[in-house]
């Protein structure tokens, strides 16, 4: 896949295309699957970079035909309703509501309580042709079922934040176990900028709850040098200033 400097600056997560494991997974979906690719941006906050990259830029890189029946759909979830409403404003402005959903849910309880924000729900009801099986499930059950996502994203040191900053009202372990429950067997989990703010051994924590580490990549942003990361990489060496780091796991 072509590297594109502008893309890397605007959507740092686009560095994920440097991972052969990620590319293999996505190309397999692109060539073999008849179904939509369902992606979760867990604890998305108010930023639209993940859903925009996955629904607009990745299909362009894949040369995915716009008229194709199968699509990449991103579900953004967060515990903070106001952050989600701010995200909705951006998505509406960029005309992305066809392929992005905004869901109010705490990680710990998203298997029993997950509500589409009203504008997201109204958009689906006004455009029933865009509804996925998961939209219909969410509208009916107000919860996420097990194994509903092909790919999960924890963007910007979510594992660290959950263990440190959000410790008072979040239970990191239960939250991450629910992330694991919602990803399909053999699906992917992409963790970006681990340890950028809080040093937690992301690989140990995620392997302990049933993920298998596949590959990590560190990119030196000024030289473009790429380093593949072994499983025993030191947490303190990840996501250094001037670097972009991500880790890829699968669910076993
Ligand atoms: C480090 S930020 C990551 C934000 C986002 N992923 C990004 O790329 O900017 C943490 C986010 O996690 C959300 N959060 C914290 N605890 C949560 C929980 N238990 N369930 C769901 N979201 C949570 C916060 O509201 C905040 O938006």
Q: Spell out the domain ranges in the chain.
A: 5-251
Extract the tokens encoding 246.
Answer: 């991500």
Ligand 1 nearest atom to the CA of residue 160, by list position: 1
CB of 29 within 6 A of ligand 1: the answer is: no
Alpha carbon distance 196, 108 (integer Å): 23
pLDDT of residue 217: 98
Answer whether 150 contacts ligand 1 (Cβ < 6 A): no
Angle between helices 118-126 and 133-141 (to 10 degrees): 130
CA of 147 from ligand 1 middle (Å) equals: 21
Q: Per the structure block, which two tokens stand in for 77? A: 């979830």
What's the confidence (pLDDT) of residue 3? 57
pLDDT digits (tens, 9 = 90+) for 209-219: 999 999 999 99
User: Ligand 1 within 6 A of 114 CB?
Assistant: no
For residue 189, give the H/E element and its range.
Answer: strand 183-192
Q: What is the mean pLDDT of the chain?
A: 96
pLDDT at residue number 170: 81
Give me ligand 1 centre to Cα 250, in Å.
21
Evaluate: CB of 45 within 6 angstroms of ligand 1: yes
* Calpha distance 228→126 (Å, rounded): 46
Domain 5-251 homologous superfamily, CATH: Vaccinia Virus protein VP39 (3.40.50.150)
pLDDT at 224 (0 to 100): 93
* Exposure letters 140-151 (e unless 16+ CB within 10 A, then b): eeeebeeebbbb
Whether 132 is in the pocket of ligand 1, judged by its Cβ within 6 Å, is no
- Six-digit token string for 3: 């590297």
* pLDDT above 60: residue 64: yes
- Bridge-based pairing state of the strands 226-229 and 211-220: antiparallel
Neighbours of 248 (CB within 10 A): 21
Q: What percent of the chain has pLDDT over 90?
A: 93
If you search the block for the tokens 């106001």, which residue do you land on? 82
Is the pLDDT confidence value at 1 over 60? Answer: no
* Res. 185 pLDDT band, cuts 50 70 90: very high
pTM: 0.97
**Is residue 44 lining ligand 1, measured as CB closer than 6 Å?**
yes
> Residues 21-45: what's their mean pLDDT?
97
Q: Looking at residues 24-32, what average pLDDT do you find?
A: 96
What are the pLDDT digits (tens) for 98-135?
Answer: 999 999 999 999 999 999 999 999 999 999 999 999 99
Which of 42, 43, 74, 168 is the best mutation target for the ligand 1 pocket, counting ligand atoms within 8 Å of the beta carbon and taking the most?
43
Query: What integer is the mean pLDDT of 47-52?
Result: 98
Note the pLDDT of residue 5. Answer: 84
Is residue 177 over pLDDT 90? yes
The pLDDT tens digits of the residues spanning 228-251 come to 999 999 999 999 999 999 999 999
Distance 40 CA to ligand 1 centre (A): 13
Pocket lining: 196 vs ligand 1, CB cutoff 6 Å: no
What is the CA(46)–ligand 1 centre distance, in A? 9
Q: Report which ligand 1 atom has the smallest distance to the Cα of 41.
A: 6
Alpha-carbon distance 60 to 26, whole Å? 13
pLDDT-based confidence at residue 2 (cuts at 50, 70, 90)? very low
pLDDT at residue 155 is higher than 80:
yes
Does residue 134's CB lie within 6 angstroms of at least one atom of ligand 1?
Answer: no
């Amino acid at each position: 896949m072509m590297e594109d400097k502008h893309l890397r600056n605007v959507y740092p997560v686009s560095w994920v295309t440097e991972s052969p494991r990620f590319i293999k997974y996505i190309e397999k979906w692109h060539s073999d699957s008849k179904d939509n690719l369902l992606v979760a941006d867990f604890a998305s906050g108010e930023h639209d970079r993940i859903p925009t990259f996955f629904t607009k830029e990745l299909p362009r890189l894949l040369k995915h035909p716009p008229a194709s029946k199968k699509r990449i759909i991103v579900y953004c979830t967060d515990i903070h309703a106001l952050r989600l409403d701010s995200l909705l404003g951006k998505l509406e402005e960029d005309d992305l509501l066809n392929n992005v959903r905004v869901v109010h849910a705490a990680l710990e309880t998203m298997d029993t309580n997950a509500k589409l924000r009203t504008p997201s729900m109204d958009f689906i009801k006004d455009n029933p042709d865009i509804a996925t099986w998961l939209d219909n499930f969410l509208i009916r059950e107000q919860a996420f079922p097990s194994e509903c996502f092909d790919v999960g994203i924890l963007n910007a040191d979510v594992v660290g934040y959950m263990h440190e900053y959000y410790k008072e009202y979040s239970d990191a372990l239960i939250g991450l176990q629910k992330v694991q429950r919602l990803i399909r067997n053999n699906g992917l989990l992409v963790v970006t900028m681990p340890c950028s703010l809080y040093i937690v051994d992301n690989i140990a924590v995620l392997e302990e709850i049933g993920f298998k580490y596949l590959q990590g990549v560190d990119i030196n942003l000024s030289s473009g040098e790429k380093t593949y990361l072994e499983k025993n990489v030191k947490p303190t060496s990840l996501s250094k200033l001037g670097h972009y780091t991500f880790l890829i796991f699968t669910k076993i």
